[in-house]
Amino acid sequence: MKITKNADLPRRPGPADWFTGTVQIETIAVNPVPSRLQAARVTFSPSARTAWHTHPLGQTLYVVSGICRVQLQGGPVQEAQPGDVVSIAPDELHWHGATPDAEMTHIAIQEADTHNVVVTWLEHVTDAEYNS
């Protein structure tokens, strides 16, 4: 067993290739093989969001605070409240982020596939897509 204190969690800004706006990523879990689990606490500033992306084995988002905007390609922008769980199926093209007026934090949980791929990043979400 290992306990990692909050102050010792790896933290980094969200890369500009993956996000629009200011995002902070705190790694919660990247477990050694044979585990493929990965988890992070991700905090989005107002209007910050991911780029369009997919996960080969899907993704689960647990909203901690704020309101999470999320959209599947071709669908409407939806909102999830604190305590809500968003389940994204394998290879569903989607994005998620904060509302324009408030910060949002979620826990993102996903698994790596047999080639150690966790996510495939694509183009940025436009303002028109975000505001639709």
Nearest to 68, CA basis, from 89, 31, 95: 95
112, β-bridge pairs = none
pLDDT tens figures, 104-118: 999 999 999 999 899
Q: What is the DSSP string of 61-90?
A: EEEEES-EEEEETTS--EEE-TT-EEEE-T
Domains defined for the chain, CATH in brackets: 8-130 (2.60.120.10)
pTM: 0.92
Determine contact, residues 14/80, Cβ cutoff 8 Å. no
Mean pLDDT, contiguous 10-residue spans, the chain (132 residues): 84 96 93 85 98 97 98 96 98 98 97 92 96 89
